[in-house]
């Protein structure tokens, strides 16, 4: 039994950078507690949730019994669906009582990203404060979203309560707040539950990789400040030393991971820690979930003859060669958090710069590690980050200067209070995004975008901007039009050769296509389908990866680059250039 399940409180939250195994551990914990006789509900508030896939049970926003497991129930809260229900609760009472034009205007106010966040949090809070659920279930487990999203989600109670204390503003949040005022007591109760260590435990999930450890440390500090002090750390997917088989790649992975484990930051090292070995197959189904919770590696041998053929796949270098047939453009890397978008973006930017092109590399990921990946403060090409905190501050100052100058004291206070809304951050970030992509007409702009859920919200807000600009300035090429322009914009979906990341990448591609945005290529990163692999564990993982890679090529896209897992982390310009040349 893992340490974080010892005397588990009623509420368990799993958080960490995307792709580290939060869903797997949340699901395995739910199964272990249910099989110990406890009645358990597992909930996802992640836009990219896949707990239904893990348990092979179709589920949605209603509590659903899990197949074949007594006492275990699940639900997935889709923020977009929650927003639609939330919007309807507010609008339905006024339909037929107010003119249709006014109702339509109110619906428009409630159609933005702000409403989506408020609605999702409304559902999240309901589960924490519902007395009937507390009577029905011994444990409620939350498979939360990737780190940046989780932090913002958990910051919302304090932010909204603070905003409501000051009163409503008059523009950006008037619509969503119509449904918030009556929820004040419920939000206060949610904050109380989150900060009560007898009721709530936070499990930080990380891989033994520098970037995810840095993110775990940041999350530990920020959530501790919110009052979540009962924290545990899981180092997930550690390569077992007994399984190296003297394979150079396996030995390099073991060495790299053990160095990270031994050099854990002091604050993390003081937490109770579970080290969980890498499994030979992906965590799907009850048996693999039980293995994960036990913390042991099952004895397995390769069950079939497997011939690795890595030469049949295109390289990252060939993809960059195709990009360089033009001298400018917008290159956006999209995909689930933790699949390597930051590294791929930096490698592409480095190689294009080496080819003599003018390059601007930027990130809009709240959990970005771009500067760490480049490992240099003096990069020769332009590097920038759309930082939500600094952009929000700049936006507030600009609005106060422009709109506040002509207001009296009461009017200025009203404007300041409106700008306290969390929605202001969304507006500020997307305004900056729109400015940066304008540069793509003259140079290469390489964007390391946020994890999948963030990316969809990003495109949604850009689409809203597109509609507004179309109304106001008919001749302007809006950000959405630039994204739809395949001659200018190259969308590269980045994923891993694992079932869940591939499924999520496929879903993202379909979402983009519905917005008339056609992905240009896919990158499959950290592939173990490499020539010369000796270790049986690596061979077993490679055997499960190759059919997935072939499926992507045959069914999802005609342009794919397969990037092999490296013996050392590709940090620094030299390593990035080598990666881009492979």
Give the number of other Cβ atoms within 10 Å of residue 1's Cβ.
11
The set of residues, in sequence order, having a beta carbon less than 8 Å from that of 420 and lying 6+ positions away, is 162, 163, 166, 169
Dist. CA 385–CA 396, nearest whole Å:
18
Q: How far is CA 438 from the centre of its chain?
A: 26
| Catalytic, out of 16, 46, 230, 482 | 46
Length in residues, the chain: 582
Would strands 72-76 and 64-65 be described as parallel, antiparallel, or unpaired? antiparallel
CB contact at 8 A, 237 and 278: yes
**In the chain, what is the straight-line distance between the N-terminal and C-terminal CA atoms, in Å?**
42
Tell me the C-alpha distance between 422 and 97, whole Å: 31
Residue tagged active-site, from 16, 17, 22, 125: 22
Q: Distance between CA 182 and CA 196 in Å, rounded?
A: 24
Q: Are 212 and 338 in contact (CB under 8 A)?
A: yes
Phi and psi for 448 in degrees, rounded to 5? -90, 95
Catalytic one among 15, 16, 17, 23?
Answer: 23
CA atoms lying within 13 Å on the CB side of residue 550 = 12
Buried b or exposed e, range 562-578, using 16+ CB within 10 angstroms: bbbbbeebbbbbebbbe
Q: For tokens 């796949």, name the residue.
A: 313
Active site residue 21: yes
- How far apart CA 290 and CA 473 sit, in angstroms, is 58
Known active-site residue 23? yes
Active site residue 274: no
Active-site residue identified among 16, 18, 19, 453: 19
Residue 124's alpha-carbon distances to 10, 74, 130, 415, 437, in angstroms, are 15, 14, 10, 29, 35
24 as an active site residue: the answer is yes
Catalytic residue check, 74: no
Catalytically annotated residue among 21, 337, 338, 453: 21
CA distance 182 to 125: 13
Q: Which of 280, 489, 495, 500 is catalytic?
A: 500
Q: Check 15, 24, 64, 115 and give the catalytic one.
A: 24
Alpha helices in 36-170 (DSSP H): 51-55, 79-91, 100-109, 113-129, 131-136, 147-166
CB 581 within 8 A of CB 352: no
- To which residue do tokens 């979540």 refer? 228
User: Are the C-beta atoms of 361 and 446 separated by less than 8 Å?
Assistant: yes
Q: Provide the token pair at 47.
A: 């836009």
Structure tokens at 77: 């809260």
**Could you give the count of Cα atoms lying within 13 Å of 6 in the half-sphere of its Cβ?**
10
116 is an active site residue: no
Residues classed as catalytic: 19, 21-24, 46, 500
């Amino acid at each position: 039994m893992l340490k974080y399940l010892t005397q588990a409180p009623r509420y368990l939250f799993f958080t960490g950078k995307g792709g580290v195994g939060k869903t797997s551990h949340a699901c395995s914990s739910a199964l272990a507690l249910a099989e110990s006789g406890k009645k358990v509900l597992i909930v996802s508030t992640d836009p990219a949730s896949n707990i239904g896939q893990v348990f092979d049970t179709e589920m949605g926003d209603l509590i659903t019994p899990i197949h074949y497991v007594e006492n275990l129930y699940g639900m997935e809260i889709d923020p977009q669906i929650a927003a639609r229900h939330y919007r309807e609760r507010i609008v339905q009472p006024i339909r037929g009582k107010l003119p249709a034009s006014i109702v339509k205007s109110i619906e428009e106010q409630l159609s933005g990203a702000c409403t989506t966040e408020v609605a999702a949090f409304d559902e999240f809070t309901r589960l924490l404060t519902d007395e009937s659920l507390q009577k029905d279930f011994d444990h409620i487990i939350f498979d939360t979203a990737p780190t940046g999203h989780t932090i913002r989600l958990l910051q919302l109670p304090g932010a909204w309560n603070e905003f409501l204390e000051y009163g409503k503003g008059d523009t950006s949040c008037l619509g969503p707040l119509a449904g918030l005022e009556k929820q004040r007591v419920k939000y206060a109760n949610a904050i109380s539950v989150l900060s009560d260590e007898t009721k709530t435990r936070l499990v930080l999930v990380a891989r033994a990789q520098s970037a995810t450890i840095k993110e775990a440390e940041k999350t530990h500090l920020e959530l501790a400040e919110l009052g979540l002090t009962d924290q545990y750390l899981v180092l997930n997917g550690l390569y077992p030393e007994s399984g190296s088989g003297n394979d150079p790649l396996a030995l390099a992975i073991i060495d790299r991971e053990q160095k990270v484990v031994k050099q854990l930051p002091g604050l993390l090292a003081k937490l109770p820690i579970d080290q969980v070995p890498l499994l030979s197959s992906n965590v799907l189904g009850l048996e693999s979930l039980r293995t994960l919770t036990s913390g042991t590696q099952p004895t397995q041998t390769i069950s079939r003859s497997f011939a690795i053929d890595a030469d049949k796949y295109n390289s990252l270098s060939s993809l960059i060669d195709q990009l360089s047939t033009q001298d400018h453009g917008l290159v956006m890397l999209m995909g689930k958090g933790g699949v390597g978008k930051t590294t791929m973006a930096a490698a592409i930017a480095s190689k294009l710069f080496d080819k003599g092109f003018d390059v601007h590399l930027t990130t809009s990921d709240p959990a970005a590690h771009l500067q760490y990946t480049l490992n240099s403060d003096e990069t020769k090409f332009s590097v920038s980050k759309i930082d939500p905190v600094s952009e929000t501050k700049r936006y507030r100052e600009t609005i106060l200067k422009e709109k506040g100058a002509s207001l009296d004291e009461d009017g200025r206070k009203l404007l300041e209070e409106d700008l306290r809304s969390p929605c202001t951050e969304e507006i500020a970030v997307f305004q900056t995004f729109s400015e940066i992509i304008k540069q793509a007409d003259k140079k290469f702009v390489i964007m390391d975008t946020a994890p999948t859920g963030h990316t969809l919200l990003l495109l949604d807000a850009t689409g809203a901007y597109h509609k507004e600009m179309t109304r106001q300035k008919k001749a302007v090429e809006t950000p959405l039009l630039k994204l739809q322009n395949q001659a200018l914009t190259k969308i590269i979906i980045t994923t891993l050769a694992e079932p869940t990341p591939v499924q999520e990448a496929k879903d993202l591609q379909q979402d983009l296509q519905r917005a008339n945005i056609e992905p240009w290529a896919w990158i499959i990163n950290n592939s173990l389908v490499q020539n010369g692999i000796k270790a049986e564990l690596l061979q077993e993982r490679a055997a499960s990866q190759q059919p997935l890679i072939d499926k992507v090529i045959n069914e999802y896209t005609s342009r794919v680059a397969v990037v092999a897992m490296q013996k050392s982390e590709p940090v620094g310009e030299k390593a990035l250039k080598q990666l881009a040349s492979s």
